Amino acid sequence: MSVADAPAKPKVGRRTRLPRWLKALLGLFAILGPGLISANAGNDAGGILTYASAGSQFGYRTLFLLVLITIALVVVQEMCARLGAYTGEGLGALIREQFPLRSGATAMVLLFIANAGLTVSEFAGIGAAMELFGVSRYIAVPIALAAIWAVTVLGNYSRAERVFLVMGLVFIAYPIAAVLAHPHWGTVVSNLVWPHFLHTKAFLLLAVALIGTTITPYMQFYIASAVVDKGVTPKTYPGERVDTINGAILSDIVSIFIIIATAAVIGGTGPLSSVSQAAEALRPVAGAAASQLFGVGLLGASVLAATVVPLSSAYAIAETAGVERSLSCKLREAPVFYGVFTAQLVIGAIIALLPGNLVELVINAQVLNGFITPVLLTYVLILANRRSVLGAAANGRAFRVLATVCVSVVAVLSAAVLVQTVAGWFGAS
């Protein structure tokens, strides 16, 4: 047999070339994680109902405010992710190391107060969502409690991360609803690019609630610890920075669409009084099934946040105590971490089963967060400014100015509402 007649040898090592756009898409999915999860968790039961209440009460007037809040969220989330990547420590550990004991204890107490209210509201959201399907909250909440605990404690970080990311897909219904509701787009754009604020106590109170539900304290503690848990280093941080910034922007785009959809359907009707009223914003998408579709979204959002909020508490207290804290650890390896997580879940679920108005509960929780947020953001800003903590990765001059302005504005708004609230107790207007 001649050489020419010999069978051709199979080619070894030849790889199929993927299209450039597909490589870019796969690369994006590879880096998605803590940033997207923490930002999406902000669109929880409290977030959805607060944004919907903004649309029903003030129409499109809060849109410009949300654009400003989005800029602040990007700045804050990026600082927290950078702190985690460059120091290898979460915010709890950094506060313990960099501040006096009393200051660190104050930060932890404020975080736990905020998270306690939020965990209750998340389980209340789960119960309300299932009641839209005819399932009693006395059945739904215990089942949700068990499922969240099992996925988080008996699984591992990467598995939990995939579950959280899939849950975030439910938010796609809101942009579709906003388009199908046929809002007056000229008015929408005008309110997005130029302030149309009202000088009323109700508007100011809702503004603080929007800050509290968008720049929620637990998100900052969670992202810093999750970045460490994922093993992000200074070398791999550029990819995580993309995840963090994109996550903040994408989640707030969804928030903007929630306001637009609600304003287009029931704008001007006043504050929300029930969950079913908030579901009206999805009527252009689902018609008579709007309540069911809203229930699915509310359930996914609430379960996501009901997991992340207690996790942020568990990370913070374990870091402060200097003990093991990681979802990659077995239960016996990190008893304090998992114990705090479990305790907050159980307490939140029990309180959520008590009678109460869900909408009023969750919006008040966001206002409470609005009061606490500027205090905790001050810790973050100081840490990110210190070269002794971040070295060359510390905030530059321009970024430091921008971050200071963001934190200061949030503090001024919160202080204004607090002063008005206290004055109201004494009969002053």
CATH of the domain at 118: 1.20.1740.10
Instruction: Specify if 184 maps to a domain.
Output: yes
Three-class SS of residue 133? coil
Comparing C-alpha atoms, which of 264, 284, 280 is closest to residue 187? 264
Residue 240 covered by a domain: yes
6 located within any domain: no
CA dist., res. 364 & res. 121, Å (int): 10
- The set of residues, in sequence order, having a beta carbon less than 8 Å from that of 217 and lying 6+ positions away, is 110, 111, 114, 115, 312, 369, 372, 373, 376
Residues 6+ apart with CB under 8 A from 224: 80, 81, 83, 84, 89, 90, 91, 94
pLDDT at residue 159, as a whole number: 66
Dihedral angle of Cα 360, 365, 366, 367, to the nearest 10 degrees: 90
pLDDT of amino acid 25 = 47
Closest CA to 275 of 252, 259, 298, 257: 298
User: Residue 295 has what pLDDT?
Assistant: 84
Cα–Cα separations (whole angstroms), residue 350 to 101, 119, 130, 137: 32, 10, 16, 11
Expressed as residue numbers, the domain containing 307 is 34-385+395-425
Are the CB atoms for 226 and 37 separated by under 8 Å?
Answer: yes
Which of 261, 215, 211 lies closest to 60 in space, CA to CA? Answer: 261
* pLDDT at position 387: 94
Count the Cβ atoms, other than its own, within 10 Å of residue 139: 11
- Report the pLDDT value the prediction gives residue 185, as an integer from 0 to 100: 92
Tell me how far apart the alpha carbons of residues 271 and 421 are, in angstroms, rounded to a whole number: 18
Note the pLDDT of residue 17: 62
Domain assignment present for residue 19? The answer is: no
Tokens coding 282: 């999805």
Which residues have a Cβ under 8 Å from the Cβ of 156 and sit 6 or more positions away? 327, 328
Provide the token pair at 162: 């995939």
Six token digits for residue 412: 């001024």
| 7 in any annotated domain | no
- Structure tokens of 288? 């008579």
Mutual angle of helices 63-87 and 217-230, in 10-degree steps? 40
- Split into its structural domains, the chain has a count of 1
Token pair of 160 as six digits? 């939990």
Task: In whole angstroms, give the CA distance from residue 297 to residue 302.
Answer: 8
Flag residues of the chain having pLDDT under 50.
1-4, 10, 13, 25-26, 28-29, 31
Q: Can you say whether residue 427 is alpha, beta or left, with left for phi > 0 and alpha for psi between -120 and 50 degrees?
A: left
**Which of 313, 315, 147, 162 shows the shortest CA–CA distance to 226?**
315
Within a domain: 25: no
Spatial contact of 50 and 365, defined as CB atoms under 8 Å apart: no
Q: Is residue 17 part of a domain?
A: no
Amino acid at 273: S
- Give 169's DSSP letter: G
Q: Which residue has the tokens 């508007």?
A: 203
170: DSSP letter = G
Q: Does 58 reside within a domain? A: yes
The answer to whether 89 and 389 are in contact (CB under 8 A) is no
Give me the count of residues in the chain: 429
- CA dist 101 and 150 (Å) reads 35
Cα–Cα distances in angstroms (integers) from residue 91 to residues 13, 281, 372, 384, in the given order: 46, 38, 16, 11
Give the per-residue pLDDT at 59.
Answer: 92
First to last CA, the chain: 104
Question: Dihedral angle at the C-alpha atoms of 106, 112, 118, 119, nearest 10 degrees?
Answer: 180
Residue with tokens 């946040």: 305
